[in-house]
Amino acid sequence: MKVSPSRQQELLLLSSILRASRPLCARCTHSRSRQSASPLSPPAQRSFSILNRPPPNYPGHVPLTRVERLGLAVGSAITSLTNPYRHDMIAALGEATAQPFFITRLRNRMLSDPTGRRILRDRPRITSKTMSLEKLRRLPEDTVGRTYAAWLDREGVTPDTRDPVRYIDDEEEAYVMQRYRECHDFYHAVTGLPVWVEGEVGLKAFEFANTGLPMTGLSLAAIVRLKPQERQRMFEIFLPWAFANGWRSKDLINVYWEEELETNVAELRNRLGIEQPPDLRAIRRKLKEERRAAKAAREAALMNSTTAAPAPAQSTA
């Protein structure tokens, strides 16, 4: 087969790509040749010391030695458990534990799915700039976009509150991690779980079953910090739901949320194979009302203690 000149040019480009220097994709701004060990090799093989750290693979990348990584994992695990509002520690824990195997597996799952591949090609980011909340609020009720916007409003957060990925070495895997983090709020929107500890834990269990990232599993340790009644609810209702559905449903990481903004939530859930979870908010509201009713009844009974026999309070919890 004769090689045409234009093809020849393409081949020259290809061979330049295949040279040891590995330029980054168009989206990334850095493009430099490597002078030492390729940072793409798994961390286990890299042998650099903190004195000669290799250059970063993407903006914000911090290459870590093995010891540093271990220290980060342990430290962030402890801090996350004691102070669950330290979201940067939670993020660090996630990154420290995802390498080398789990984030690669997640990336491979994206690469095996046509939509996932498109996401990896297009590299969409979810920021307040790319997600116009005003537009989303104007979407019809029960659409993914509307629910997402309502969610953010209710919880008082914006898309920008997600920490950037720093400790994942492979540039593409770093994007996968970033994407997972940014889509977390969408997961809330689609499952309906609230952002309290209970809801978060439930969602983390779902994500563990769905993505396999270790950090999501480790987060279940936060169950110890729940009140006994909450814990009971967790074990009886939410955990079974989370594991069953997370396992069965399609990969959430492969959902191109930007394209699903106008889809009906129930229809999307159907497509993904997720059953609607019990509404935690409604449950807690009902419980609160019951408790209030019980309390009122007790007080009333106390006041009427001398006059009439108190009617036994019916609890409908």
Partner 1 sequence: MATAARLPLPLPATTSRAAICAQCRKATLNPFKRRRFASSISSAPEIYDVVTVGGGPAGLALLAALKSSPITSHLKTALIETQDLGRLRQWSSPDDQFSNRASSLTPSSVSFLEKTGAWRHVSQSRVQAYDEMQVWDAANDATLQFDWAADSQRHNAPPQTVATMTENTNLTRGLLERITELGADSALFSSTNVSSITMGKDDANADGDGLNLSMWPVLGLESKSQSQSQSAGSDVSTTIAARLLVGADGFNSPVRRFAGIESHGWDYHRHGVVATLTVQSVPDTRHGGSYSDGDGGFDLFSDEPLPNRATAYQRFLPQLGGPIAILPLPNNRASLVWSTTPQHATYLKSLSPLGQVSMINAALRLSQTDLNYMFTLPASAPDTLDSELRWRLQHTSPPPVARQPPIVTGVQEGSLASFPLRFRHATTLVSPRVALIGDAAHTVHPLAGQGLNLGLADAESLASTIAYAVTHGMDLGDPMVLERYGSDRFGKGLLMAGGVDALNWLYQLGSGGDGVLASFLGRARRLGMKVVDGGLVPGLKGLVMKQAG
- Whichever of 40 and 133 has its CB closer to partner 1, that residue is 40
Using DSSP's 3-state secondary structure scheme, residue 26 falls into coil
Q: Is 250 in the site for partner 1 (CB under 8 A)?
A: no
Using DSSP's 3-state secondary structure scheme, residue 264 falls into strand
- Choose the binding region for partner 1 from 37-45, 177-185, 188-196, 249-257 (rule: CB under 8 A): 37-45
What single letter denotes the amino acid at residue 118?
A: R
Question: CB within 8 A of 71, min separation 6: which ones?
Answer: none
| Nearest of 259, 253, 222 to residue 238 by alpha carbon | 222
- Choose the binding region for partner 1 from 14-22, 60-68, 226-234, 236-244 (rule: CB under 8 A): 14-22
Q: Is 285 in the site for partner 1 (CB under 8 A)?
A: no
Q: Is 179 in the site for partner 1 (CB under 8 A)?
A: no
- Choose the binding region for partner 1 from 17-25, 67-75, 257-265, 288-296 (rule: CB under 8 A): 17-25
Question: CB within 8 A of 113, min separation 6: which ones?
Answer: 251, 254
Q: What is the DSSP string of 182-207?
A: HHHHHHHHHH---SSHHHHHHHHHHH
Bridge partners (DSSP) of residue 163 are none
Query: Is 30 labelled a binding residue?
Result: no
Q: Is 49 in the site for partner 1 (CB under 8 A)?
A: no
**134, burial (CB in 10 Å: exposed 0-12, middle 13-18, buried 19+):** exposed
Q: Is 172 in the site for partner 1 (CB under 8 A)?
A: yes
Query: 96 and 167 in contact (C-beta within 8 Å)?
Result: yes
Query: Is 61 labelled a binding residue?
Result: no
Q: Is 224 in the site for partner 1 (CB under 8 A)?
A: no
Q: Is 52 in the site for partner 1 (CB under 8 A)?
A: no
- Choose the binding region for partner 1 from 13-21, 81-89, 128-136, 277-285 (rule: CB under 8 A): 13-21
Task: Lay out the site mask for partner 1 across 94-133 (x = CB under 8 A, - = otherwise).
Answer: -------x---x--x--xx----x---x------------
What single letter denotes the amino acid at residue 109?
A: R
Bridge partners (DSSP) of residue 20 are none
Q: Which residues contact partner 1 by CB under 8 A?
A: 1-3, 7, 11, 14-15, 17-20, 22-25, 36-38, 40-42, 45-47, 101, 105, 108, 111-112, 117, 121, 171-172
Q: Residues forming the annotated binding site? A: 184-185, 188, 200
Q: Residues forming the annotated binding site for Zn(2+)? A: 184-185, 188, 200
